[in-house]
Chains A and B, each alone.
Chain A
Amino acid sequence: MEPILTVSHLQKVYGGKGSRTQALSDLSFTVEEGEFTGIMGASGSGKTTLLNCISTIDRPTGGSITVEGTDLTALRGKALSRFRRERLGFIFQDCNLLDTLTGFENMALSLTILGVSPRVIEGRVRETAGLLGLEGVLDKYPYQMSGGEQQRVAAARAILTRPALVLADEPTGALDSKAAGQLLRQLSALNREEGTTILMVTHDAFTASWCRRILFIKDGVLYRELRRGELDRKAFFAQILGVVSMLGGDSADVL
């Protein structure tokens, strides 16, 4: 089966002649439909650059990114923003809800921007809100919600448009552990039950342990890949910790 996302030989260089920063050197991987993939790495490893390139916010200097057979590096202007609008969903660390709109309206907005028929909007919003346990906050404004609720509304907004790929950038970064757990449980349920493909960037091992598969990036290249397989979360967590401890530098670097 054709993978949803194919990243091949991706390169990104910041700066000009004087000070070149190689954020991504030569990165290749694929994500299949229905996968819940995590990307981990220390600060400065290039994981945010990677996410920016996939989400078309930034343009790579070399290599290609293909989503559902469309080469993103070939898209320009209106086609690009159209692609972003229709095929990608975003969840950010700061959840980016509009403070003047209620929870319901925040979710509905992503559909009205797409031009979805007004008749089906209410039904789809309520359905998705049910999936994420958001029935109680539909009429609340963001400032009346907890951080976790806000982030779940953002998640609902991201999946409402039925994107090919949901990109999550440190979605639990601003949440306490309980709210983080709840959000991740629901993301994982979405992935299992609805088959939503999720690509999540995080530096937190606990958050990453909810993924089915984890890619570790170090100094702009793919360093390791872990698959959860049949392991339970606890064992997977331990495995992740093992790799994470090596990310900053392994024993060869000591001494």
Chain B
Amino acid sequence: MFCKLALRNVTRSLKDYAVYFLTLTFGVCIFYIFNSLESQWCMQMLAQSAHYIVDTILILMDVFSVFVSVVLACLVLYANTFLMKRRKRELATYFLLGLPTVKVSLLLVLETLVIGLLSLGAGLLLGVLLSHGLGLLTMSMFAFYPAGESFGLILSGKTIVKTVLYFGVIFLVVVLFTGLSVSRARLIDLIQGGRKNEELREPPLWQSVLTFLLGVALLLIAYTMLLVRGLLYIDPLFFLMLALGTLGTLLFFRSLSGFLLRLVKVRKGLYYKGLNMFVLRQFNSRIHTTYVSMTVICLLLLLAIGVTACCVGLNHTIGATTDASAPYDFTIQNYSGDVSPTDIPALLTENGFDAETELTATRSCDLYYNDAGITVPGQGSSDVVISLTDYNALMALQGRAGLSEESLPQLGTATLVTGFSGVGAYLVVDDATAATLSVRRQIFVGNFAGDPQTAETALTAAVQSQGFAQTGSYRLDTRLQIYLENMGTKILVLFMGLYLGLVFLVTAAAVLALQQLSQAADDQKRYAVLARLGAPEGMRDRAVFTQVFLSFFLPLALAAVHSVVGMTAANAVISVVGQVDSVQSSLVTAALLFVIYGAYFLATYFGARTVVRGNGLRTR
């Protein structure tokens, strides 16, 4: 009987529950995608190309992951509080019928459970499907990746368990919260729930000003800490900085509406114009419940802007550096060239790779130890030496200018080999001097004559054969391999950044949209009064627009300021790898933000307008 009532309640108030249900499903879905991405796709990438950026990204991802779950918990609680508010009358009826508090609590707990299970199921399903889709997309980008195994398409049991666990805790909190709020509710408040407004205390001016100043001061402290300390040190101070920033944002939004109201009130021409007074009062009356969500939305937007901008910029940098580190199709290095020098081309031919026909523009060179302790006055010295003939030959292969005899000895820094050389600066000396030094390492560079893909496979097979393994310690780097490695990092960074950024952006926008639409439902009555007072439709539409606009663009404005500071700090981190192309990345981010956020804004405005218009003049 009791379960039946709970079930019927859920189906009956489906419209009310829709907001709640969507929020939960969306949350579960995001959480699953996010965590399954971390546990399956990224780990595989990490194993494939051990690039040190990935480590940093994984640390950041862990921080984000915790942050995301906290944000989701707040979201669910918020949605639940909203739902409870809408059902006050219904609860009052139960109490009036004589249902004891425990039973009412139990009823609500059952309802929460039903909705929770439903949304958990739906969210996981959606999450698995979407992460599937993302996996396929990634695979198509990696079609040429030289790895036999497939990406994605794995149902991550670990992630499902993790999701269920996390959301189980969140539901538990919600259930406790619901039970508590019911047991503390007073019947008179519930009955008048529809009529009574939120607390409308107008705080004294000095209080608004003080809160505002405190918020700004906290933000400035957090900014300074971020700029001075940088982004990379994740220690207690880092979290203190996050806390200060969050608190500052919170206080800023808490005091903003009161501040704004005071400011406009002084300017009577503006205050007493059209529905300005009404809009401002609406905004102010809501701030007590909306400032928390505004803060969350602002921080989400900050993440979206920051992550997207940094990753797009970083991606650009990586793309530009690909060619610089691979001047020839391949390089073979013999590390044991000092003790057992070999003829690498001959060895290749012996082991099944015809170096004569398959390769063009080859060159064998030696690198020498600096036995003589040669130094270049004013430039310094190096442990690695190369002869002028070899140097000029390598430069000619790269299509660059060589050196002349007169300028020797000289310290050089131009890339000599494809791939990893372990050589920074080196000395270029004349051939006679070089002949007196002992050989350190042999290198053999060249380009493929035919199809690079097949040639590379054959070359790799030859270098890995017994003939090579028995004669020394060799290293093979090919342009294709470096390209793919860079490509992998590039796609990883871009994908992660865009993915995270978009998820945060969509979450923020969706929350705002839900909030505004539900508020519009509350506003319906007020707009009906305005209509009866004779406010023309255009005037009312403008008021709706201003309301939606304020709630969408105030958080965006502060998030933009945050992200300018944040990106300055992020630049310092990324400049280890390369400079973020700030103009381009800012443009890309702005475009993405504009399209998604703008679309949500417009959809919300039109939705809210329809809701508000719904109760026109005729209904009384």
Contacts and interface: CB of A to CB of B under 8 A. Distances in A.
Interface of A: 57-58, 78, 81-82, 84-86, 90, 92, 96-101, 105, 108-115, 118-119, 121-122, 141, 143, 157
B533 A122 contact: no
A171 B196 CA distance: 21
B617 interface: yes
Interface centre among B274, B278, B282, B285 (most CB of A within 10 A): B278
Contacts of B617: 57
Nearest to B267: A118
26 contacts: A58-B618, A82-B534, A85-B535, A90-B532, A96-B529, A96-B532, A98-B278, A98-B529, A99-B195, A99-B526, A100-B197, A100-B278, A101-B277, A105-B277, A108-B277, A109-B277, A109-B530, A112-B272, A112-B273, A112-B275, A112-B277, A113-B535, A115-B274, A118-B272, A143-B197, A157-B533
Given A57-B620, A92-B532, 9 more contacts: A81-B536, A82-B534, A100-B278, A100-B282, A109-B533, A112-B272, A113-B533, A119-B268, A141-B197
Nearest to A113: B535
Contacts of A118: 268-269, 271-273
Contacts of B533: 85, 90, 109-110, 113, 157
Interface of B: 195-197, 200, 268-269, 271-278, 281-282, 284-285, 526, 529-530, 532-536, 539, 617-618, 620
Contacts of B539: 113
Given A108-B272, A113-B534, A141 B200 contact: yes
Contacts of B618: 57-58
Contacts of A110: 533-534
B533 to A, nearest CB: 6
Given A90-B532, A118-B269, A109 B278 contact: yes
Contact of B196 (A57, A100, A143): A143
B282 to A, nearest CB: 5
Most chain B beta-carbon contacts within 10 A, residue among A90, A98, A115:
A98
Task: In the A-B complex, list the 3 residue pairs whose CB atoms are closest, starting with the nearest.
Answer: A85-B534, A118-B272, A100-B285
B216 to A, nearest CB: 27
A96 to B, nearest CB: 5
A97 B195 CA distance: 11
B239 to A, nearest CB: 38
Contacts of A119: 268
Contacts of A121: 268, 272
A109 B277 CA distance: 8
A114 B620 CA distance: 23
Contacts of A90: 532-533
Query: Which among B272, B277, B617 has the greatest number of chain A C-beta atoms within 10 A?
Result: B272
Nearest to B197: A99
Contacts of A141: 197, 200
B532 A100 contact: no
A143 B193 CA distance: 12
A100 B272 contact: no
Contact of B200 (A57, A58, A97, A100): A100
Contacts of B273: 112, 118
Contacts of B536: 78, 81-82, 85
Contacts of A115: 274
B281 A113 contact: no
Contacts of A78: 536
Contacts of A98: 278, 281, 526, 529-530
A233 to B, nearest CB: 31
